[in-house]
Structure formats: structure tokens, C-alpha cells
Structure 1
Amino acid sequence: MLARAAGQRNFQHLRSQTEPRPVSTWPDAEPASASPELPAFVVKAARFFDEKGRFTAWPARTSLQNLCLWVLWSAMPADHAFTEREISDHLNMLHTFGDAAILRRTLCNLGLMKRTKDGRVYHRCEVIPSPEGAALIKLLAGRSTLRRSGTEMQRTAASASR
């Protein structure tokens, strides 16, 4: 009733009109690592990666999930056959939330990876990243985990599985 008396539709509308927003949510505020030519969607997706380039949380929005998976795709070596254990170990080095299965499944559903019908062998599909995916890959390319070569990642995954 108070909101209606003030001429607003509901309490949330009244609160948004009267409370000052924190500086971080102002429209012109950008993270220090973001450049002005990057789309806001790419900057939002980059927040799901830590300073080492690891994927820290599974986004709720499917469009953000799909965009973030381009970074994992780019960190996988091309022309290499992975067993399920090897791809899980490789993905575990690239994320921190401990669910390699959802990453494997979603990478395959998006066509970024393919697997045999029995799920034993995985291959990276060679596709051209979306413009947003390419921008996110470029933005995160300098972070330490993603700078390692595919061969080094294979060696690390092989030693971890022993």
C-alpha cells in the first residue's frame, strides 16, 4: 500500500527508484580487464573463470553455459582421441566445480566434441567458434591454465590418471 500511495506499482519498483545502486551495478562501470569493444555478454561469461583461467561455476543460463564451453573446447588438443577417464581428467584441470560429466555431455550435445556410441572414445570436433566464443577465448587466452599447450595438458592428464 505504501508503494501505491507513492505512485509506484509495487514495492520492488518503489525500492528500485528510491535506493541508490552500488557503484558496481552502474551501467557505465566495467571490470578493469574488459575492453570497450567486448560485448557485455562476453564480459559476463568471463566472470565464470578465475585468474588461472579455470571455469569456476556452471552458469544458470544456457546461453552463458554454451559460451563458456568454447573456452574449454579451445584448451583441448585437436586430433587426439581421449578415453572417458582422460577427458574427465583433462576437464577437471580446466574447471573447479567438480562435474566433468555435465561438461562432457554438453560439449557433445553442442557438437564441440563427438564420442563413440558406447562413450569410450572422445574427439574434439574442428568447428569455427561463434564471434562471442572467439572473443571470450581471446580475452582469457593470457590466463595460465589456458596458455599451456595441448601436449603438456595430455602429459599432465596421463600422469594424473596413474
Structure 2
Amino acid sequence: MSREIHALTIADLSAFARALREALAQREAPPRERTAPLGHVEMLNLLSKSAGYKNYQHFRAESDAAEQVAPAPKADSELIERVARHFDERGVLMRWPAKNSLQPLCLWALWSRMEAGRIYSDAEMTALLTAWASFGDHALLRRALVSLGYAVRSKDGRIYQRIEQKPPVELSPLLRRVRRAEEVA
């Protein structure tokens, strides 16, 4: 039978030693004076409890869960290239993509340029979108930012604010690619 290895990390060795000493003292007799030796599973449970787990099974479950963390998703390089074609060498969105699958990443690029926590007036938002997109339809971009959940708009439409959220993995490579073209120009 193969043996599974589980690493035990102890943040505070002093607290661990104290908890282990107390757990051993609560037993009927110290390990050396007992007639039956301390069992393997019993020792694993004592060590696990001293480290802050309910028992050895709890420790193993936590250890297994930590090992099964999903790998970070990889960016879709084809999507990045197709979206990057819609930006010019200065990083300005030249045209709105006809394919719905490309539109969200274009909006993420615009979202990334908005300051976190800042409240924009309608005029400020229009001026920014006009500067960031050269195809002349800032209203389409404003509506898309709000409808897809990248920004929030007040009921009267006078105030806009970026909604903080985790961007897709493709945003960073897209921004690097667009900025690289910006630096070359």
C-alpha cells in the first residue's frame, strides 16, 4: 500500500507544543506509563488537533482541498488578437466589433481606463468615450458598459461609476499588446 504524504505547516510552534502537551496530559496516563502504546491513528489525531484541526480526517480533507486548487485559466490568444485589431496604434477603439463574442473584451479595455471609485458626470463620460473610441458612437459604448455590468448609471443618467470586479484573464495581454503598439507609434 502506497503512503500519502501530507505536509503539516505549523504557524506557531509554541502554541502547537502547548496544545500537544495539554492533549497528552488529558489522557489517562502519560504515553510512557501506559500499558498499551500510543496508536498511530491516535497520535495523528493528537498532532492534528494540536495544529488546529478537528482530527486527522479534517486535516487530510483540508490538505487535499489545498492540493486540488484549479490551475489558473489561460488567456485565449486568438480572441486577444481578434480584439486587438479593433484598436489603433494609440490604443483607441476604431470600430465596434460586429461579433458579440468580441464586444465584452473591448468594453473591458475601456473599463480598465476608468478610475476605480470615481464618479463621472454624463459630460465627462461622453468626453472619455469620445477620446477612447474614434468611431463616434459614445452612446452605444455607454449603454453597453451599463447593460453588461461594467459600470452603473444613476436613474436620471447623469452619473456613471465603474463597477469593481475581476476582469477576464485576456484583459492584461490585450492591454499589453495595445500599449506595445502605442509605444511603437
Q: TM-score range by the shorter chain?
A: 0.5 to 0.7
Q: Which residue of 2 aligns with 1:156?
A: none
Q: Which secondary structure does the structure 2 equivalent of 1:58 belong to?
A: coil
> For the Cα contact (< 8 Å) 1:79–1:123, is it kept in 2?
yes
Change in Cα spacing, 1:144 to 1:39, as seen in structure 2 (3 Å) is closer
* Percent of residue pairs identical: 40
Q: Which residue of 1 aligns with 2:142?
A: 104
CA deviation map 1:1-51 (0-9, x unaligned): xxxxxxxxxxxxxxxxxxxxxxxxxxxxxxxxxxxx861111010000000
Q: Which secondary structure does the structure 1 equivalent of 2:102 belong to?
A: helix
**2:86 pairs with 1:48:** yes
**2:157 pairs with 1:115:** no
Q: Which residue of 1 aligns with 2:65?
A: none
> For the Cα contact (< 8 Å) 1:38–1:135, is it kept in 2?
no
- Distance apart, 1:138 and its partner CA: 3.0
**TM-score, normalised relative to structure 2:** 0.55
> For the Cα contact (< 8 Å) 2:92–2:132, is it kept in 1?
yes
- Distance apart, 1:111 and its partner CA: 0.8
CA deviation map 1:56-84 (0-9, x unaligned): 00110111111111111111111111111
In terms of Rg, which structure is larger? 2
Q: Which residue of 2 aligns with 1:82?
A: 120
> For the Cα contact (< 8 Å) 2:146–2:153, is it kept in 1?
yes
**2:95 pairs with 1:65:** no
- Distance apart, 1:143 and its partner CA: 5.2
What 5-or-longer segments of structure 2 have no aligned partner? 1-74
Q: What amino acid maps onto 2:177 in structure 1?
A: L
Choose which of 158, 162, 167 in structure 2 pairs with 1:124. Answer: 162
Q: Which residue of 1 aligns with 2:171?
A: 133
Most deviating of 133-142 and 47-56: 133-142
CA deviation map 1:99-120 (0-9, x unaligned): 0000000001111100111111
Cα root mean square deviation, aligned: 1.8
Q: What amino acid maps onto 1:123 in structure 2?
A: Q
Change in Cα spacing, 1:143 to 1:78, as seen in structure 2 (3 Å) is farther
- Distance, in Å, in 1 between the alignment partners of 2:159 and 2:141 is 15
- Distance, in Å, in 1 between the alignment partners of 2:114 and 2:88 is 18
- Distance apart, 1:133 and its partner CA: 2.7
What 5-or-longer segments of structure 1 have no aligned partner? 1-36, 146-162
Q: Which secondary structure does the structure 2 equivalent of 1:61 belong to?
A: coil
